[in-house]
Structure 1
Amino acid sequence: MMHRPPIKFCKQCGTAVEYRIPDDGDTKVRAVCPSCDTIHYENPLTVVGTVPSWGDRVLLCKRNIEPRFGLWTLPAGFMELNETTTEGAARETVEEAGAQFEMQDLFSLVNVSRVGQVHLFYRAKLTSDQFDPGVETIEARLFLESEIPWEEIAFHTTRVTLECFFADRRKGGFSLHHLDV
């Protein structure tokens, strides 16, 4: 179940909406305006980020914001309107880590249907080991696989993406991972 607050008012005319199955043949309960008949669709949010690597190390960011303040994550965040998934992943990596990198292939697509999100992570090859983290990050640091603070990882999507990344690296090749968590 999604954790976003329900829509209360029509974005077109301001009337209080009703939650019901629309009269247009739809089969799902939607927020429908009883005044202007506008149907308000609630869709998943997209989180985009990177798995930045420098040799055998991966860059993680210690969160300076809630949720999960003080825990480690890959640089990622919500995709903005008018940007592609790669543009959003690059923006988040710069904002959170101040990293310099070359974007690589899509690495993982993780469905988090219980909170209405889809997470996309791209591999990124760091071109410098110097970072300038933004305000959302306490610290940006490189970790060997053996150094990852697994008990301090902020999100399950980060954990499963890192596990796939290190498993692929041990195999000698990277593939796209599609996961449901």
Structure 2
Amino acid sequence: MSGIVCLGWGSLVWDARDLPIEGGWNSDGPGLPLEFARQSGDDRMTLVIVNIEHHVPTLWAEMNVNSLAHAINALAAREGVQNPNAIGRWPNTTDRQYPLGQSIAEWAGRMGFSGVVWTALQPGMKETRGTVPTLDELTAYIAKLDNDTRLRAKAYIDNAPVQIATPYREVLARACEASWKEPS
């Protein structure tokens, strides 16, 4: 094993695809401020790191990689991102400062890991990246989704690990159920 781990909290946990992880996901990852606050390419609201007080315990899995660069590239490929800076990393040899990077580094040191990677995408809707949508904005957005997209959004919320108990989670799940549109 490399001693390099990947942090997870969303679809990565239940759908790792080709991500080279060894064994399963462990539930004692660092506590991070996560929320369903990013509109994905297929219009679901996905989990990202945001600037809030509420932290939830994340998950981690050891990676079968030979370097931190290999881990970064593997996670970028799994997440479908072109910009390698969208993958957080420790140790960080770039000029980019990752939110919570120091907390993750301290956790990794306590755990004895040599490296950590995580998805570091910005929150926001497609048109307003970098801005965390309010709960009212998200419920209004969900109400406008077609049934197929709403089903995907609800599945993402339902499949998120139970320990990812964010402030918005239950309200958004109910909004997905309440907004069902009867076929015309």
Q: Same fold (TM over 0.5)?
A: no
- Point out the structure with the larger strand share: 1
Instruction: Determine which structure has the larger helix proportion and give its number.
Output: 2
Normalised TM-score (structure 2): 0.29
Larger relative contact order, structure 1 or 2 (CA cutoff 8 Å, min sep 6): 2
Larger Rg: 1
